Structure 1
């Protein structure tokens, strides 16, 4: 299950939640296919001003940051480089579609692999 956790300033997020969730879900579906739509999990974390720091100082206008949880096995596929590139590009484009072109250069997308047997749903360990 793809998990996307987006950190963004609260003031920038308010009123854009549904649009952002839809755009991010569509970006994942564009890479994986429509079968993934119902399992994309998007969590939006709105931070108040002063609670995001860069370079030892409160950030004035940070671009959104995305932590993308993915099965580790995806990185071992022959097409892994293409998948990673398409996910990073698609997620960035989705963020830009909602927040505008000025955020593009600062948008960060970090793909984090979860090994089989290291996560679970409904109290059951996922082994594949």
Structure 2
């Protein structure tokens, strides 16, 4: 399952949740295909004023949105893995800019966080232990 956690200043997020979630889900489906749409998990983390700092200083202006994209490691180790990574970063950046404002595009941070099947568990079992369907 692709998991996207978006950290953003609450003031930037308020009222934009649904369009941002839709845009991020569309972005993942555009790269992976429609089969992935029902598997996309999006968590929006709105940080209140005074709870975002850079270099020890509270950010008073718009903070750069950060997206952590949990992805199975196998998707990035395939021969086309580098292309998938580029397409995901571009599509997620486009989605955040569309949802929160084009002015933020150059500051959007997208972190692809690959996880090996033997390091991720769902329902109390490692993914690597699941029987193939």
Counterpart CA distance in 2 for 1:55 and 1:97 is 28
Match of 2:44 in 1: 44
2:117 is paired with a residue whose SS is coil
Match of 1:115 in 2: 116
Counterpart CA distance in 2 for 1:77 and 1:19 is 32
- Give the CA deviation at 1:14: 1.1
Show CA shifts across 1:47-75 (max 9, x none).
00110111221112112100000001112
Task: State the aligned residue count.
Answer: 128
Counterpart CA distance in 2 for 1:114 and 1:5 is 15
Pairs within 5 Å for 1:63-102: 63-102=64-103
Return 5+ residue gaps in structure 2 as ranges: none
Structure 1 runs (4+) greater than 4 angstroms displaced: none
Counterpart CA distance in 2 for 1:44 and 1:94 is 13
> What is the Cα-based RMSD across aligned positions, in Å?
1.0
1:50 is paired with a residue whose SS is coil
TM-score (norm 2): 0.93
Counterpart CA distance in 2 for 1:41 and 1:101 is 23
